[in-house]
Amino acid sequence: MRRAICAILLCLWAAGLPADTWWVGFRDKQGSRGMLTSPDHLLTSRAIERRQRQGIELDSADLPVSTSYTDSLRGLGCRVLYTSRWLNGAVVSNGDTAFDKRAIRLPFVCEVQRTRRDSLHLSGAPQRWQKQAELAMTAETPMEPDHFALHRLQQLHAAGFRGQGMRIAVIDNGFLGVDTAPVFRDRRQQIVHTTDLVELGGNVYKHGQAQHGSKVLALLLAGDTTGHQAVAPEAEYLLFRTEDDASESLLEADNMVRAMEMADSLGADIISASLGYFEFDDPAGNFTYEQLDGRTARCSQAASIAAGRGMLVCIAAGNEAQRTWHYIDAPADAEGILAVGAVTADSVRSSFSSFGPTADGRIKPDVCALGSRVSICFPRAVSTGNNGTSYACPIMAGAAASLWSAMPELGSSELRDRLIRYASHTDRPDNETGYGLPDVWAAYSDSKESALTDAEERGGEKKVAEVWSLQGVRLRETPQRGMSIVRYEDGTTAKIIR
């Protein structure tokens, strides 16, 4: 009883202090209550189905952390904010400035790192969103852009593939006004989950400086009466707020890890994260270029793990090209993902788009999409002065979702490989725009190598609704010779060779 009272008093004492946040890494998972033989206790049925479809088995990283370990941390006066099963650790808050020295003595603890100093929070430090907003005044492309044309996405949509069956997790700084904006009125039901990881239990629709996350989602989902089209208007969406507009800290990068794990559990197919890190309010946490190897930053580790769980992970490459640090950010350095750079409507690298390579010499960015003068429909009309890899990223994610809805037999790694194979300079990649602009129509139309020799063999009595050339031009009828794509009235498609 005396020990319990002391623990309670310790918690009350700690609660009255300014609380820094910490990452605590564990050595093992002894005492974990999960069982790999009972996946339904670890993941949703949709997540299990995604894994099974791609032949991905559960492993120890899917097991929850040991509850005895988190209980021990609470005994030190910690508030456990959340845990990471992938990286086997916990994010905690504690007001003791010497907490790291006490925690590292615990036999099951292998690492302790302060992720945010409470004294620096709300300090008024310049934020990344302000820097992004400034890009709108320095864009170099005067012409009206068309992010559909650069990827020939319009043809894929016209053939009936608009992201249906896909679930996209969007990770950002909040989604201010999305719950009331007219452009989401008819599609709001496609948002099937929201979580605020900055203010646990908070409302993602009440936050979002510069409407950053709201514009990212608008590119993916919004529509209006003028005919403006979203890049994946028939997908479902999971929204996660991980970025705190009042600070820049390692805690926010850890929030991203948590969001990726939740996206996995909830059955996401694609992750779109227009966030990146290398510099923080507390310089002690800053990344060096040598650490951008895809294996050092926790958010980069998580991005690679997410890709290995059967999700396509799209990460904004960063807007640092004109700064002293001109490289990509973390987690764009991760392996197995798509780090997305930005280009102009003329397919030229946007002046702000970050350069590769990674510290271990890998090509980055992986691909690129329109990031200068992007047309975005939010909150009720279209604006064109939007710039940043933050907008190139969701364009790529939405284009990939539309392609995946056309080719659901692909695994996530196969989809990624196909996007790269059909990019504009796949045979001569560089560290400015990676492998270039993926042509999603070509990626689809070239996919049926065993196509039939006549429409009737595939369609029987089905009626043809539309016919398209492989170049994406709509035809009046199926040509007598050559290849074409037909869409039947029941929504199915076939590649025809005559």
The distance of Cα 416 from the centroid of its chain, to the nearest Å, equals: 14
* Burial of 223: CB neighbours in 10 Å, binned 0-12, 13-18, 19+: middle
The reported pLDDT for the residue numbered 364 is: 98
Is residue 457 over pLDDT 90? no
Q: Give the pairing type, strands 270-273 and 167-172.
A: parallel
Please state whether the predicted TM-score (pTM) of the whole model is above 0.85. yes
What would the two tokens of residue 258 be? 């948590």
Average pLDDT over residues 21-36: 92
78 alpha carbon, distance to own chain's centre: 30
Q: Which residues of the chain form CATH 3.40.50.200?
A: 128-445
Distance separating alpha carbons of residues 316 and 390, to the nearest angstrom: 5
Q: Is residue 172 a contact partner of residue 273, using CB atoms and an 8 Å limit?
A: yes
DSSP-assigned letter for residue 420: H
Distance CA 384, CA 59 (A): 46
Which residues make up the CATH 3.30.70.80 domain(s) of the chain? 2-29+65-116
Average of pLDDT values for 284-304? 97
- Note the helical H segments in 339-484: 389-406, 412-421, 440-445, 455-459
Residue 59 above 70 pLDDT?
yes
How is domain 128-445 classified at the architecture level of CATH? 3-Layer(aba) Sandwich (3.40)
**Range 2-29+65-116: architecture per CATH:** 2-Layer Sandwich (3.30)
Residues 6+ apart with CB under 8 A from 283: none
- Is the pLDDT score of 67 beyond 60? yes
Residue 7 is predicted with a pLDDT of 47
Q: Which residues pair with 193 in a beta bridge?
A: 238
- Please classify residue 491 by burial: count the beta carbons closer than 10 Å to its beta carbon, then call 0-12 exposed, 13-18 middle and 19+ buried: exposed
Confidence of residue 284 (pLDDT cuts 50, 70, 90): very high
DSSP result, 32-80: ----TT-GGGTS-HHHHHHHHHTT----GGGSPPPHHHHHHHHHTT-EE
- What percentage of the chain exceeds 90 in pLDDT? 72
Among 498, 383, 365, residue whose Cα is nearest residue 434:
365
pLDDT at 8: 43
Residue 353 is classified by DSSP as P
**pLDDT tens for each residue of 214-272:** 999 999 999 865 667 899 999 999 999 999 999 999 999 999 999 999 999 999 999 99
In tens, the pLDDT along 120-174 reads 655 544 455 444 434 443 333 333 337 899 999 999 999 999 999 999 999 999 9
